[in-house]
Structure 1
Amino acid sequence: MKRRKFLKNSSLTAAGALSAPLMANYQKNGISNPENEIDLPVKPIAVCTWNFKNATAKAWEVLEKGGNSLDAVEQGVMVEEADVKNETVGKGGRPDRDGNVTLDACIMDKDGNCGSVVYLQNIVHPVSVARKVMEETPHIILAGRGAEQFAYEQGFKKEDLFTESTRKQYEEWKKTSKYETIINIENHDTIGMLAMDENGDISGACTTSGMAYKVGGRVGDSPIIGAGLFVDNEVGAATATGVGEEVIRTVGSFLIVELMRQGKSPQEACEEGVKRIMAKNKDRKDFQIGFLALNKKGETGGYCVHPGFTYSQYTEKGQENVNVESFY
């Protein structure tokens, strides 16, 4: 990613002054003693797993107007939760093997505050319920019926999450009741979103309906802080997609943020995160994991097990879908 660079004018410096516009740029970004070359963070920025262009466009709409990163990630992933054509998230998500559509989500802000819901039914926007858990309770995770009741108390409406399409698919699946994890998006997926606002503050959100036809009660990495999502505003943030059990085993998103704290770039950290997982799964090729990371400079990176994982990115330069390298 190209970063904006502001160069010091040596002749003006010798005269003891910087141009007013240049000094204004330095002061805006908190720089009191600029060096010969200054790399300023790319901000604001919104990124999310997979090519969910409508999601990053919504997040950018919030950021471009000066909104904060927490609102941006919430409103961004809500687009996918409400899209019935996306059968891996929110309304229209595929059910478990018992015929229950159960949703998991979490959210985390710049101060390390976080909220999560797991095995939530009958509510279209689990990410917003997770935010209410964060803001309105002393807890971090609410589950099942308790999470659902809390949602109703907060004003959320009950809604059937099945669609005609997913109901027909479920009835067809019951004829064989075969369970398998397909490498990319067909069986399961997650939208994990990270954003940095104009103040340089980072937030993240993650939401999913989990694996299609999973065992009733199964929860993956998506709503688990440190596994499917982690934010450290001093360093950056990371999120994950794919088979959550493998991400949980390495506390994947936390690991990637810590690797960035140690000096690795987002790309290097994501690569190491996948390699840690593969070290525990030697010669295994039947699952997909994808990591996405963002640091305080506005640099991004991604890496996955198999080809096919991408991420959507939106900055002042526009929107793009980024293909990432893979382990295999």
Structure 2
Amino acid sequence: MKRRNFIKNASLTGVGLAVGSTIASCVENPSEDKKIIANTSKASLPLVIATWHVENATAKAMEVLQAGGNALDAVEQGCMIEEADVMNQSVGKGGLPDREGNVTLDACIMDKHGNCGSVVYLQNVTHAVSVARKVMEETPHVMLAGKGAEQYAYELGFKKENLLTEASKEAWEKWKVESEYKPIINIENHDTIGMLAIDKNGDISGACTTSGLAYKMAGRVGDSPIIGSGLFVDNEIGACVATGLGEEVVKTVGSFLVVELMRQGKSPQEACEEAINRIVNKPKSDYKNFQVGYIAVNKQGEIGSYSIHQWFSMTKFQDGVNEQIQSDFFYKT
């Protein structure tokens, strides 16, 4: 299944949308009752988790950590794997374009000190996450947008590339036949990649990168590059990343909310569930027709994930095991 179906109307698919995963839930069969298993063992470090089935990305991040690299290096290099994968039509090169045919990228990164960097509406540069890191480390700003972000990338030596592959161009041409502007909630295996890592020193960093909604209005920006919405890291408490319909994540400042709930004493799993509840319990919420998922980790290395609809997953690399874990979810028909 492909990533872009992640925003397809759950009521039309019957099985719902793609959803978040967690270590705190064990799903033997998505059609059977879920069994929630508490994680009482002490976490082994280093640890990497990421949204969706991205074992190549988590493997790269763990390679960095095992070689003595820090969590910041790990999440950047892990996300770069997906950005360079032209088969992944929701991140980096090969991403599906906006309705004008332009591939535009959003990304952010955050380190253990609370420093952060972000790029929005970046074109012609594959590794948006790396440009975001440069914004964080080498400018007085947090966010650069559009042509300004692109020009800054060239000044740093990033290569100008055509990000629209033939496959994505063909898909766009087919879409133009009807030009129906409607976010599609995927039942695919990918969307935004959000990654969190804890290195051997116990320090946490995170990153998030995406090409955004397919065929979006020109200039649209979702939650992924917004610190506090798509990503938030507090090295004293933990971290969270979001995926799904960004507009809904922004409305609740979702990742910040999850971290604050952990600060109040909730486990990562409990915090993710509460953050989803905030979305679905809003007055007139249309949650049956969109997807949001969260993954989170606390300072003790406990992890959790939760989403509105079924089929979201998380990849975890720990103790030599790189595995995909299906998430528990809210909307059980």
Cα deviation for residue 42 of structure 1 reads 2.5
Name the SS for the 1:291 alignment partner. Answer: strand
TM-score where L is the length of structure 2:
0.85
Cα deviation for residue 187 of structure 1 reads 11
Q: Which moved further from structure 2: 188-197 or 125-134? A: 188-197
Q: Which moved further from structure 2: 318-327 or 81-90? A: 318-327
Deviations 1:161-183 (A, max 9, x none): 01110011111111100122232
1:180 aligns with 2:207: no
Please tell me whether the aligned partners of residues 184 and 308 of structure 1 are also in contact (alpha carbons under 8 angstroms).
Answer: no
What is residue 114 of structure 1 aligned with on the other side?
A: 116
Please tell me whether the aligned partners of residues 181 and 286 of structure 1 are also in contact (alpha carbons under 8 angstroms).
Answer: no
Name the SS for the 2:242 alignment partner. Answer: strand
Name the SS for the 1:256 alignment partner. Answer: helix
Cα deviation for residue 184 of structure 1 reads 2.3
Aligned match of 2:272 in 256, 270, 274?
270
Larger CA Rg, structure 1 vs 2: 1
Alignment of 1:191-206 (within 5 A): 191-206=193-208
Name the SS for the 1:204 alignment partner. Answer: strand
C-alpha distance in 2 between matches for 1:211 and 1:186: 13
What is residue 313 of structure 2 aligned with on the other side?
A: 310
C-alpha distance in 2 between matches for 1:138 and 1:101: 27
Deviations 1:9-41 (A, max 9, x none): xxxxxxxxxxxxxxxxxxxxxxxxxxxxx9754
Please tell me whether the aligned partners of residues 188 and 211 of structure 1 are also in contact (alpha carbons under 8 angstroms).
Answer: no
Deviations 1:208-248 (A, max 9, x none): 00000000000000000000000000000000000000000
Corresponding residue pairs, total? 293
Structure 1 unaligned blocks of 5 or more: 3-37
Deviations 1:34-69 (A, max 9, x none): xxxx97542110000001110101001011122100
What is the one-letter code of the residue matched to 2:311? G
What is residue 141 of structure 1 aligned with on the other side?
A: 143
1:209 aligns with 2:211: yes
Name the SS for the 2:289 alignment partner. Answer: coil
What is residue 330 of structure 2 aligned with on the other side?
A: 327
What is the one-letter code of the residue matched to 1:275? N
What is the one-letter code of the residue matched to 2:75? V
Cα deviation for residue 291 of structure 1 reads 0.3
What is the one-letter code of the residue matched to 1:268? E
TM-score where L is the length of structure 1:
0.87
Aligned match of 2:301 in 295, 298, 303?
298
What is residue 12 of structure 1 aligned with on the other side?
A: none
Q: Which moved further from structure 2: 185-194 or 86-95? A: 185-194
Please tell me whether the aligned partners of residues 266 and 302 of structure 1 are also in contact (alpha carbons under 8 angstroms).
Answer: yes
Please tell me whether the aligned partners of residues 230 and 241 of structure 2 are also in contact (alpha carbons under 8 angstroms).
Answer: yes
C-alpha distance in 2 between matches for 1:188 and 1:147: 26
C-alpha distance in 2 between matches for 1:102 and 1:283: 27
C-alpha distance in 1 between matches for 2:311 and 2:174: 27
Identity of aligned residues (%): 67
What is residue 77 of structure 1 aligned with on the other side?
A: 79
Structure 2 unaligned blocks of 5 or more: 1-22, 25-39
In the TM superposition, structure 1's runs of 4+ consecutive aligned residues that sit over 2 Å from their partners are 38-42, 179-188, 281-284
C-alpha distance in 1 between matches for 2:308 and 2:200: 33
Deviations 1:92-125 (A, max 9, x none): 0000001110000000000000000000000000
C-alpha distance in 1 between matches for 2:233 and 2:44: 18
What is the one-letter code of the residue matched to 1:93? G
C-alpha distance in 2 between matches for 1:49 and 1:84: 18
Name the SS for the 1:321 alignment partner. Answer: strand
What is residue 87 of structure 1 aligned with on the other side?
A: 89
Please tell me whether the aligned partners of residues 105 and 127 of structure 1 are also in contact (alpha carbons under 8 angstroms).
Answer: yes
Two-structure CA RMSD over aligned residues (Å): 1.6
C-alpha distance in 1 between matches for 2:43 and 2:214: 39
